Amino acid sequence: MIQNRTKDHAALAEDFIKDEKRVDWHDGALWWIRQKRDKVAKQIPEWEDLREAASLIKSNVLSNLHDYLLQFEANATKNGIKVHWAADAKEHNEIVYSILKAKEIKQMVKSKSMLTEECHLNEYLLERGIEVVNSDLGEYIQQLAKEPPSHIVLPCIHKRKEEIGELFHEHLGSEKGESDPTILTRTARKHLRDVFLTRRGALTGVNFAVAETGEFVVCTNEGNADMGAHLSDVHIASMGIEKLIPQKKHLGVFLRLLARSATGQPITIYSSHFKKPRQGQEMHIILVDHGRSRQLGRVDFRNSLKCIRCGACMNTCPVYRKSGGHSYHNTIAGPIGAILAPNLDMKKHADLPFASTLCGSCSNVCPVKIDIHDQLYKWRQVIVKEGYVAKTKTIGMKAMAWTLSSPDSYTAAGKVGRWVLKNTPFAVNNKLNPWYKQRDMPGAPKESFEEWYAKNDLKGKS
C-alpha cells in the first residue's frame, strides 16, 4: 500500500481525470453528500452556535492538553485500561506488536483508524507474521484492492460497483459480474462475521477521549468496531493526543456535529463509550504524538489539530471532488490533509497546499471552524520561504513580480503578450505552458485599457 511518491498532486490528478465518467460520478456523489449535510444542518437552528462551541472547546483542549492528557491517563488507568505513550509511528507499531506478541495473537481485526494508516501498521505487523483484516466495508474493499483509502469517511468512494464486484469475485468467490451493492455487502458480511468470531485481538480508532472520566468513544455506522472489540480477548485503541475532550457533556456538542457534517445523518448508528474492559478482557490505549506536539507549536497551523475527521471539507472541495483522494498521496487527503501533511514532511508534501483554489468552502463547512483555506495560503508562504517549491513556479513568480513592479515593464509585457497571442498563438498554446492544459488561451484584445483610455480621452469629455 505504499503510494506513488514520484508524482505530485497535479500529475496524480491528471491520471485520475483521464476517466471522465468516473470523475463526473465522483464529483456528483460527493456533492450530493455535501447537500445532505446542508439539509440536516439547516434543521438545527443553533447549528452555527454549535460550531462555535465546538471550536472553543477544542481551543481549550489545545491550551490545556498537558493536564488533560495526565487527567485522562489517571482516570483510564483507574478504570482498568492500560495506557501507553508513543512518540511516533514506529513506537506506536512496536507497542501494538508487543501487546499482540505477549498474547501470542497472530491475527487481528481492525476497525477504521486513520492513525494506524498513517503509521503503516498493517505492513509493519505483516512483516512480523501478524495478519490484519480491516473490517470497515470500504476499508476492507481497499485492502483487497491493495490500495489505501481515498477518503477518511468513504474509503472507496473512487471505485465503481463493477470494480468492487470484480474484487469480490476474485477474493471472496462471488458470482462473476455481480455488482449489486446489497448482494456484495451480504457477501462481505458473511466473510467478515467469520473474521470477527475468530480474532482474539481487535484494534479500533478513537473519535473522542474524555479526560474527566477516562472513557473513549468510537463512532461507526456498521458496528464493526463493536463486533471486533466485544468478541476479542485484547482490545487496543489507538488515538492521536489531540482527540481528548475535557468533559463527558461535551460529547453532546461533538456527536451532534460529527455525523451531520460527515454524511448528513443525525448521528452515526453506533456511538460506543468504552470505559472499562469486559470481564477477562485486556484493554489498551495508545496515546500517539507523531508530529502533533510540533504542530501545536506552529501558531498559524495549530488549529488544524481541532479536526474531528468528518470529511466535510473533502466533500465540498472542488479540487478534491475532481482530483480524487489518492492524488494527495497522503493518508488524510483533501483540504485538511493538505494542512496536516506539511507538518509531517514539508518537502514531500510541498505540493499539497497548492492543490486548492482557496475558495474557502472547506472553512465554511468545518464543524470545528478550522480556518482551513487561510492555513493553506499560509503554508504556501512557509513552503516557498523554505525553498520547497518547484523551480518553474519560482521562476514564474519572480518574472511576475518584476513585471508588476514598474508601469514600464507592465506596459511592455502587455504589448508583447497581445502580439504573441495574436500572431504566434502556437508559442503559448503548447505543452510547455502549464496554464494551457485543460484551458484555451484567451483571444488577444487589439489594445490595452490604457491605450483605449488615452484614445477616447474620457477625462476631457466628462
Q: Which of 8-16, 130-138, 357-365, 420-428 is the region at the interface with another protein (rule: CB under 8 A)?
A: 130-138
What's the Rg (C-alpha) of the chain? Answer: 25
C-alpha cell at 375: 492555513
Q: Choose among 235, 224, 259: nearest CA to 138.
A: 224
Q: Among residues 155, 201, 205, 367, which is the contact residue for another protein, using CB under 8 A?
A: 155
Residue 177 sits in the site that holds another protein (CB under 8 A): no
Q: Among residues 89, 96, 118, 138, which is the contact residue for another protein, using CB under 8 A?
A: 138
Q: Among residues 13, 23, 86, 352, which is the contact residue for another protein, using CB under 8 A?
A: 86
Degrees, nearest 5: CA angle 361-363-366: 110
Residue with smaller CB distance to another protein, 66 or 439: 66
Residue 184 sits in the site that holds another protein (CB under 8 A): yes
- CA–CA separation, 266 vs 213, rounded Å? 25
Q: Which of residues 296-335 bind another protein (CB under 8 A)?
A: 296-297, 299, 302
Residue 350 sits in the site that holds another protein (CB under 8 A): no
Find residue 234's DSSP bridge partners: 201, 282
Residue with smaller CB distance to another protein, 49 or 450: 49
Degrees, nearest 5: CA angle 139-141-144: 110
Residue 265 sits in the site that holds another protein (CB under 8 A): yes
Nearest approach, Cβ of residue 460 and another protein (Å): 59
Instruction: Kindly determine how many residues on this chain lie close enough to bind another protein according to the rule CB under 8 A.
Output: 91
Q: Are 285 and 76 in contact (CB under 8 A)?
A: yes
Q: Which of residues 11-70 bind another protein (CB under 8 A)?
A: 29, 32-33, 44, 46, 49-50, 52-53, 56-57, 59-60, 62-66, 69-70
Residue 407 sits in the site that holds another protein (CB under 8 A): no
Q: Choose among 323, 336, 326: nearest CA to 366.
A: 336
Residue with smaller CB distance to another protein, 69 or 358: 69
- CA–CA separation, 109 vs 86, rounded Å? 21
Strands (E), 229-302: 234-240, 244-245, 270-274, 282-288
Contact string (CB under 8 A) for another protein, positions 208-247, x = contact: ----xx-------xxxx-xx-xxx---------x----x-
Assign 295 to helix, strand or coil: helix
CA quadruple 313, 244, 229, 258: dihedral positive or negative? negative
Residue with smaller CB distance to another protein, 52 or 374: 52
Residue with smaller CB distance to another protein, 165 or 355: 165
Q: How far is CA 324 from the centre of its chain?
A: 11
Nearest approach, Cβ of residue 280 and another protein (Å): 10
Residue 422 sits in the site that holds another protein (CB under 8 A): no
Residue 282 sits in the site that holds another protein (CB under 8 A): no
Q: Among residues 41, 137, 152, 372, which is the contact residue for another protein, using CB under 8 A?
A: 137
Residue 409 sits in the site that holds another protein (CB under 8 A): no
Find residue 202's DSSP bridge partners: 109, 235
Residue with smaller CB distance to another protein, 8 or 226: 226
Assign 357 to helix, strand or coil: coil
C-alpha cell at 243: 482527540
Q: Which residue in the block uniquely carries the three cell numbers 514600464? A: 408
